[in-house]
Amino acid sequence: MLDIDKSTVDFLVTENMIQEVEKVLSHDVPLVHAIVEEMVKRDIDHIYFVACGSPLNAAQTAKHLADRFSDLQVYAISGWEFCDN
């Protein structure tokens, strides 16, 4: 288990949050590495996320991270852009 001193953080840390961080570090990070390896194999250089609401917010965060830490062209587009008015 992570040893976090709650008096040293600026936000509420709950037992559930600690378990989620442990899960991400042990399970999800290796999945991300596998996905990146596959993208490199396929020579993928563009990613399009299409979403609405909270998923769009997550896509925008992913775009920001990709812009900062990679050379990928990443787009986060609202699904409303595809509606026929």
Would you say 72 and 47 are in contact if contact means Cβ atoms under 8 Å apart? yes
Query: 43 — alpha (psi -120 to 50), left (phi > 0) or beta?
Result: left
Residues 50 and 79 in one domain: yes
Q: Is the pLDDT of residue 73 over 70?
A: yes
- pTM for this model (two decimals): 0.65
Residues 49 and 28 in one domain: no
Residues 60 and 39 in one domain: no
- Expressed in percent and rounded to 5, the helix, strand and coil fractions of the chain are 60, 15, 25
d(CA 30, CA 70): 18
**Residue 4 resides in a domain:** no
Give residue-wise pLDDT tens across range 3-57: 767 667 666 667 778 788 888 889 988 998 999 999 999 999 999 999 999 999 9
**Residue 7 resides in a domain:** no
**Residue 50 resides in a domain:** yes
Q: Is the pLDDT of residue 1 over 60?
A: no
Number of domains in the chain: 2
The parent domain of residue 18 ranges over 13-43
The mean pLDDT of 72-85, rounded to a whole number, is 90
Residues 36 and 52 in one domain: no
**Residue 67 resides in a domain:** yes
Give residue-wise pLDDT tens across range 22-36: 888 899 889 989 999
